[in-house]
Amino acid sequence: MSDTFDFGRFCKLLKYECVNYLPRYVKGMMVFAGFIVASWVVTIFYGYSLNDRTDDISALVVFATLLSPYFVYGDINDRKKGYLYAMIPASNLEKLFSMMLVCMVAVPLFAYVALTATDVLLWLFSMIGVGGFNKIVFLNPAPIFDYGVLIFYIASVSTVMMFNVLFRKHKIMKTVLFFIATSFVLAFGISMAVSMFARNFSSASAFYIWLGYNFSGHSLHETISLIEIILLSLNIAVACVTLFVTYRRIKRVNY
């Protein structure tokens, strides 16, 4: 059963994890709700526009989603508690897809509802107004369905899922340190590459003109499209690799 996929069993697994695993994040939602309360206090006392909280709620939903694997599935590779997850009657492939849906769909919805409910309660308490977050999200849903943003979102969450099953202790700290080290390496590599190319040009504008109009005969618009394709391909590759590693780790974890 370790490599099979049964839709009925998968639905039962997804329901089981939403009922038993997702509530583990209630305390985390309370912390994020505290940020909404703080935002209201700042809004009221300093006279900021209530619509300014749009970015606050959006950022909190993103952080809640990225942190969710550590709290919802934090003990699946724990030597003492992880066996309970291993004993769930479902295949490893079903567990991977269920984890994806919980972390990428259920948690954002849970966070959005929790934070919006907090905002509504504050509105009822203060009678000032809930602001423009709900209106902006529902009347302008296009960014949510942008395929580039969607692929980047999947790649980001799947990367955190991978680190959650790879590390046993100090998961968040190790993940942050990894991203910091990777950022330094990438920044150094990019700066070195740009410096090497820029040495051949008298000015930055000459470099960009060459990049836009003389790079393999492409126009500036075509060059930007090429860069977008490269970034999209990179995100797809990251998503595939991290999901595969997560699957292998779920399959081979030892307790």
DSSP secondary structure letters along 165-180: HH-SSSHHHHHHHHHH
Residue 173: CB atoms within 10 A of its CB come to 10
- 85 domain-assigned: yes
The DSSP result for 183-236, as a single string, is HHHHHHHHHHHHHHHHTTSSSHHHHHHHHHHSSTT--HHHHHHHHHHHHHHHHH
Stronger pLDDT, 167 or 45, i.e. the higher one: 167
Contacts of 13 (CB under 8 A, 6+ apart): 88, 90, 94, 95, 98
Residue 213 reports pLDDT greater than 80: no
What predicted TM-score, i.e. pTM, was given to this entire model?
0.75
Show the domain range for 158: 7-252
pLDDT by residue (tens digit) across 45-99? 776 655 556 677 788 888 889 999 998 998 888 877 877 888 888 888 999 999 9
What 8-state DSSP symbol labels residue 105?
Answer: I
Stronger pLDDT, 229 or 219, i.e. the higher one: 229
- 2 domain-assigned: no
pLDDT value of position 226: 63
Q: State the first-to-last Cα distance of the chain, in angstroms, to the nearest integer.
A: 20
pLDDT value of position 162: 92
Q: Which of 76-85, 181-190, 211-220 has the lowest mean pLDDT?
A: 211-220
Alpha-carbon distance 77 to 232, whole Å? Answer: 31
pLDDT by residue (tens digit) across 4-47? 788 889 999 999 998 888 888 888 888 888 888 887 777 777 76
Residue 77: CB atoms within 10 A of its CB come to 21
pLDDT by residue (tens digit) across 88-143? 888 889 999 999 999 999 999 888 888 888 877 777 776 554 444 444 444 444 44
pLDDT value of position 50: 57
What confidence category does residue 160 fall into, taking pLDDT thresholds of 50, 70 and 90? very high
pLDDT value of position 135: 44
Name the residue among 33, 35, 39 with its Cα closest to residue 52: 39
- 116 domain-assigned: yes
Q: Which of 160-164, 196-200, 229-233 has the lowest mean pLDDT?
A: 196-200
- 243 domain-assigned: yes
pLDDT value of position 128: 54
Stronger pLDDT, 147 or 99, i.e. the higher one: 99
pLDDT value of position 159: 92
Specify the number of domains making up the chain.
1
